[in-house]
Amino acid sequence: MTARAGGGYPALVALAAPIAGIQLAQVALTSVDLAMLGLLGVSAVAAGGLALLLYNQVRTMCVGMVTGVGNLVAAAAGAGELRTGTDALDDQARDEIRSLLRSALLVATVAASAGAAVLCGLALALPLLGQRPEIVTLAGAMMFALAGGLFPMVWLNVLRQFAVGMRRPGSLLAVTLVSIAVNAGCNAAFIYGWAGLPRLGVAGVGLSTTVVQFFTLAAFASTVRRDPRLRAMVSLTAWRADPVVVRRIVRHGTPICFTYGSEAAITSIATLLMGAFGPAMLAASNVANQLAYIVYQCNIGLSQGSSILVSRAVGQSEPRLAPTIARRALALSWTFMAVVSVAYVVAPLAMLWPFLHNETDAVVLGTASTLLLFAIAQQYSKGTQNILVGLLRGLGDTASGLRCTLIGYWAVGVPAMVLCAYGFGWGGWGVWTGLCVGFAATAVLLAYRFRSRLQLPLLSSGATR
């Protein structure tokens, strides 16, 4: 098979960059939200950061239910191309992909409904989680406002997985820039009650994000409709979903959902633990976590891009190309994170400025600057494990990711957080230490599983090129 088919650096970057772009479009919304919350003070940053973290927990699990659709589409397309002997698809492949899209939209709607109910339930349960009354009031109102945005967000991810599976992810750079501007304007309007709108404060930030989610969905759907290769296979009639295909998507997506949920949950638990050490520590942790989360989106792009290339290789009976794709994805990831890490060390205040530009408390600034050093370790271990989860998914193995995260996070990470924070008396620093340990343990387990799955060395020079 050619280098292009096997996933050379240009092919991987061409696929991963647009995926990372749309991920950053989503994160840009929450990053702008957190920056705007900084205008309202430390309590607003602490409460808003908590609301956004719990929202991301639910959002991630909803997305997980449909993430595997990209792999299913890629495998169907690869098999179709193999049958025709060209890049063109036969009728069987096109019909299968249409059915996958319809069925995925139904799964997405059900998942978003469940996610919205869970998010509202978490908002009501905040008093039971040991948070201060002021934080409970502000965070709960914002979470209710964010719940409705789950629907356009999950529908958008279905369309994205469809496009990515066809290796035509499209560009959202223009949409991203406009979304950021619209979100900032809506944030200010809802926070301060401009143009006759109600003055909602922290809750207005959540409502603004929901409005912009609908805008981003409409923009991307328009892009897909205009693509001549994709247009013929677009079918949005979710009510015509094939029950057999729905069950297939659910079986494929459920382990991914809980894998993603487990990953988000350990971060959410860390944030709840940080809240016990005061608003300053919680605010600093929220900002450091948001910066790390922004960087993480590039790893998600590489993870999904490499995963799609592996699925296509499997569909074309070339699974031995997986180690080569893995090496390239990891090399790009580690190089990018090295550059970001230098910025964290050399100019921490510049990195923190967008979120704490009005903050004069030296304790908050100093704490956040130190936490950026922990964020370096987190980024490497978390990014590596995410890429490995994607590679295993490309091989059709979604269960191993769940098993490894259950062990790495819950048997290692959470106990380490509690032990370091309370047993060793390290407080908030101990929470982040345990968090990094959990991600690192998971990465090691996934690397071992990937090597075992292929019976090939992951990074040796003898792998197929």
Positions in the chain short of pLDDT 50: 1-5, 456-465
Question: Quick one: pLDDT at residue 465?
Answer: 29
Dist CA 183 CA 289 (whole Å): 21
Q: Find the helix packing angle between 202-226 and 42-84, rounded to 10°.
A: 20
Q: How many domains, in total, are found in the chain?
A: 1
Distance CA 18, CA 301 (A): 8
Q: What does 257-287 look like in DSSP terms, one character per residue?
A: HHHHHHHHHHHHHHHHHHHTT-HHHHHHHHH
Q: What is the pLDDT of residue 1?
A: 40
Q: What is the pLDDT of residue 169?
A: 76
Answer whether residue 461 is part of any domain: no
Is 460 domain-assigned? no
Asked, for residue 459, whether it belongs to a domain, the answer is: no
pLDDT at residue 171, as a whole number: 63
In a domain, 406, yes or no: yes
Task: Decide: pTM greater than 0.95.
Answer: no
Q: Residue 462 falls within a domain, yes or no?
A: no
Q: What is the pLDDT of residue 463?
A: 36
Half-sphere exposure of 54 (CA within 13 A, CB side): 29
pLDDT digits (tens, 9 = 90+) for 98-134: 999 999 999 999 999 999 999 999 999 888 877 778 8
Using only the alpha carbons of the chain, give its radius of gyration.
Answer: 22
The predicted pLDDT at position 224 comes to 87
The one-character DSSP state at 432 is H
Nearest of 272, 257, 263 to residue 292 by alpha carbon: 263
Quote the CA–CA distance of 209 and 148 in Å, as a whole number: 10
Tell whether 104 is covered by a domain. yes
Q: What is the pLDDT of residue 357?
A: 60
pLDDT at 314: 81
Read off the pLDDT of residues 212-233 as tens digits, 9 standing for 90 and up: 889 888 888 888 888 888 888 8
On whether residue 465 sits in a domain, the answer given is no
SS3 content of the chain, % helix, strand, coil (to 5): 85, 0, 15
- Which domain range does residue 283 map to? 3-454
